[in-house]
Amino acid sequence: MAYVDEYPRAAKIARWEFGVAFLALALGGVFGLVQALYRTDTFREALPINAADYYTILTGHGVLLALVFTTFSIAALFTWATTRSLERPLASNRLAWGAFWLLVIGTVLAATSILNGFVPQLPFESSDVLFTFYAPMQAHPAFYLGAALIIIGSWVAGAVYFLTYWEWRKDNPGERIPLQTFMVLTTFLMWYLATLGVAVEVVVFLIPWSLGLIDTVDPLLTRTLFWFFGHPVVYFWLLPAYLVWYTVLPKLAGGRLFSDPLARAVFVLFLLLSTPVGFHHQYVDPGIPEGFKFVSMTNTMMLLLPSLLTAFTVVASLEHGARQRGGGGYVGWLRSLPWDRPAFSGCALAGLMFAAGGFSGMINAGMNINYLIHNTLWVPGHFHLTVGTAFALTIMAIAYWLIPQITGKRLQHRRLAMVQPYVWFVGMTLMSNAMHRAGLAGLPRRTAEPMFQEAGSAPFDPVVGTVGEMRLQIAIGSTLLFVALAMFLVVMFGTWLGKSGAAPLAVNGSIPDPLSGPEGSPRVLDNLKVWTAIAVVLVALAYGLPIWSIISDGLLTPGSPPIPV
Amino acid sequence: MEIHRFEKLWLAASLVLILGFVATVVYGAVGAGVAMVNDDGGTVDPGDITASENFREPGVYEAGDGEYAVYVEARQFSFRPGSSQPIEVPADTRVTFYVTSPDVTHGFSVVGTNINTMVVPGQVARITTVFEEPGTYHIVCHEYCGAAHHNMQGQIRVVDQSQFDASATGPAAIDDPAAEVSD
Ligand code: HEM
Ligand SMILES: [Cu+2]
């Protein structure tokens, strides 16, 4: 029996959530292509924008992809994972739909005020503040309200998973939390803690300030609150991908997860360490003592541990799968993996790119080498490997496997699906590699025009290659990415148009037990209260003093009045 | 719970790697003396940046002991000094930049050097450097600051000390002839 037959109501919610996520992905992807071509000066005359519109596009790209596509996809995936692993329907469908609509209203408010940037007939006023909305640059209040509703919607979505878990707990006292639910709950505990920062920033400061209720805000304080949330949010994106890599990918490879307890330990580490690290985005901020930056760097480096452990387990599980399929040799087993199945190849390529992204992340995390690349194109080069591929490609890949199960429709255009992950991979290799190198040469991010075009000035001096060659690679890479995205959408759209029950699904949703299960592992791993308490203490230690030192001269001083864009 | 031998090895290797990273940064800060942007620039009122002790009229000042202090105002969409006229400083001399913004957040990064800081309204970013090579350096605003952000750029002209002393503009404050020459 397919998932949709067992849990029709949860399946419907997940379908709608994926639906909105993919719409956001489509629009965000168009913006991505336009801005890549514009800033590399490729066919610029043919593009419908000017340099000022570039920032409207960039705001749309960041918000639609990093906030909307991610949050909706995660809600869909977690709805499936919670119900499947607890083997029961959601505790409250009404609440789950409430979360959905809060997210939708938030998205519509934010998106309308952004799009107002080129369509002034739309309601509100333009909000070209980028997805980081640093004060005192001021967006229309609708933008902030939209952001707040997206956060609140995600909180309600998370509450539904907790309610469902508590119901299950009543019926199953003393049992170990099923692994997928464990992952969902730890991810959300981390998320509740992390979003406190942005919630305070937006609700206490930016909304009243944009409405004129308070005159000034302290830009360093709001910025610090943003990054309190801004780093853990990347784990909010990453952990769902990990959930897929730990629990589904081994099965797609033909094997089983290597170790359940290790997976739990990894998620616990993320709960503990994801939040007290935000200052690593502020290494070059004035107003923050070096010591606090150092503490945050040490925590950041510790965060490498769970990711390195994940690399081990995932590769070990893949190898196990390959050997089950008859593979052998030291690396020869790689050939026995199902590279022609897009759900598998997409996840595996996403994992590979994530490893590369992890290396460039280690550079970002080093307090001193960060000076070389802070706010250069290196940074988007890095996160297109992480959120832009590790997350996005994993979601696309798992959609090939999950969408048939939640719609009851057989996947269409299977050949297109088969090559799609490879096209994305090649496109991203070109774009990201060129962005990294351009960043090393000093090219800034978030900049519409190639700078320093006047004669005789060539400040950007690449170690290898030329700026022109990098631009070309970015343009070609982004075009391939866009093609891959279109292929994915065609497959999804075709599948959606298909008839349910017309053909047997080519997938089954069963997930085999791990090689070593949770039985022997310490029960404290499942004690979410203990881990949450420790996480709160760590955050208080990392942020207590610095925030105090920023607000000790007054909550709103040094204060800046709003500067509308 | 059984932990596989390879798992243990991997765990140990990971921890060593992490400690190694932290150690290199500690070495960089303590041993090699890499200074980082800190809170020692102090705060100012964004509405009146020269009102407090922490910031002066933008320009180049001699700071005693053969050192120089450069006060830069980063605003939509130029650096003062830096954009309409290059900042001129001598080579092989300690130069400390003080940068702040009266409007939105900007960036101040000098291409090809380690000078890279955010410019947050209300805060003064303070960075000390020595330009060893004479030549022209380019300043980039690397934080989005509004519709013409991509036009926000500037120059630093590094010249030999003798040439600097002889030069008509230096070491007087470049953009503001009224400002004092010495500290
Ligand atoms: C069609 C595929 C894509 C293309 C061609 C593309 C292209 C780009 C380019 C060129 C930039 C840099 C702009 C600049 O700094 O001036 C950028 C920024 C960004 N991209 Fe993408 N991208 C794509 C997909 C994605 C995906 C899937 C995500 C996340 C899920 C993503 C998230 C972001 C974010 C968060 C930024 C930073 C925005 C900012 O600086 O405010 N992108 N993208
Ligand atoms: Cu600027």
In a shared domain, residues B91 and B137: yes
| Residues of A annotated as catalytic (active site), given as ranges | 231, 235, 382-384, 445-446
Residues B134, B158 contacting (CB under 8 angstroms): yes
In a shared domain, residues B121 and B173: yes
Put simply, the answer to whether B137 touches A459 (Cβ < 8 Å) is yes
Residues A143, A109 contacting (CB under 8 angstroms): yes
Q: What is the pLDDT of residue B172?
A: 46
Is A494 part of the contact surface with chain B (CB cutoff 8 Å)?
A: no
Residues in Cβ contact with A138 at an 8 Å cutoff, skipping those fewer than 6 apart: A129, A209, A210, A562, A563, A564, A565
Q: Does the beta carbon of A388 lie inside 6 Å of ligand 1? A: yes
In a shared domain, residues B100 and B158: yes
Q: Does the beta carbon of A477 lie inside 6 Å of ligand 1? A: no
pLDDT above 50: residue B181: no
In a shared domain, residues B119 and B159: yes
Q: What is the pLDDT of residue B103?
A: 94
pLDDT above 50: residue B9: yes
In a shared domain, residues B8 and B47: no
Put simply, the answer to whether B116 touches A288 (Cβ < 8 Å) is no
Q: What is the pLDDT of residue B180?
A: 41
In a shared domain, residues B154 and B100: yes
Which of 154-173 (B) contact A at CB < 8 A?
none
Residues A150, A107 contacting (CB under 8 angstroms): yes
In a shared domain, residues B26 and B51: no
Residues within 5 Å of ion ligand 2, judged at the Cβ atom: B 106, 141, 145, 152
Per-residue pLDDT averaged across A516-537, rounded? 92
pLDDT above 70: residue A107: yes
What does pTM read for this prediction? 0.94
In a shared domain, residues B51 and B28: no
Percent residues over pLDDT 70 in chain B: 87
Distance CA A70, CA A279 (A): 23
Q: Does the beta carbon of A350 lie inside 6 Å of ligand 1? A: no
**Mutational pocket test of ligand 1: of A44, A56, A65, A233, the residue with most ligand atoms within 8 Å of the beta carbon:** A65
Sign of CA dihedral A169, A173, A179, A182: positive
Confidence band, pLDDT 50/70/90 cuts, at residue A527: very high
Q: What is the pLDDT of residue B1?
A: 60
Percent residues over pLDDT 70 in chain A: 99
Distance CA B182, CA A154 (A): 58
In a shared domain, residues B145 and B161: yes
**pLDDT tens digits, residue range A376-399?**
999 999 999 999 999 999 999 999
Which chain B residues are closer than 8 Å to A262 by Cβ?
Answer: 3, 7
Q: What is the pLDDT of residue A33?
A: 96
Per-residue pLDDT averaged across A117-133, rounded? 87
Mean pLDDT, chain A, whole residue set: 92
Region of poorest pLDDT, from A172-186, A414-428, B36-50, B158-172: B158-172
Q: What is the pLDDT of residue B176?
A: 44
Long-range CB pairs of A520-524 (<8 Å, 24+ gap) are A520/A261, A520/B1, A520/B2, A521/A260, A521/A261, A521/A264, A521/B1, A522/A261, A522/B1, A523/A176
pLDDT above 70: residue A79: yes
Q: Give distance in angstroms: CA of A134 to centre of ligand 2.
A: 13
In a shared domain, residues B55 and B17: no
| Structural domain of B21 | 1-34
Q: What is the pLDDT of residue A457?
A: 56
Amino acid, res. A278: G
Q: How many helices (H) and strands (E) does chain B have?
A: 2, 10
Per-residue pLDDT averaged across A520-534, rounded? 92
Which chain A residues are closer than 8 Å to B17 by Cβ?
Answer: 304, 308
**pLDDT tens digits, residue range A315-327?**
988 999 999 998 8
Distance of CA A537 to the CA centre of its chain: 26
Q: Give distance in angstroms: CA of A207 to centre of ligand 1.
A: 27
Number of domains in chain B: 2
In a shared domain, residues B1 and B43: no
Nearest to A194 by CA among A237, A257, A255, A251: A237
Backbone angles phi, psi at A563, to 5 degrees: -125, 95
Q: Which atom of ligand 1 is nearest to the CA of A484?
A: 1
In a shared domain, residues B88 and B150: yes
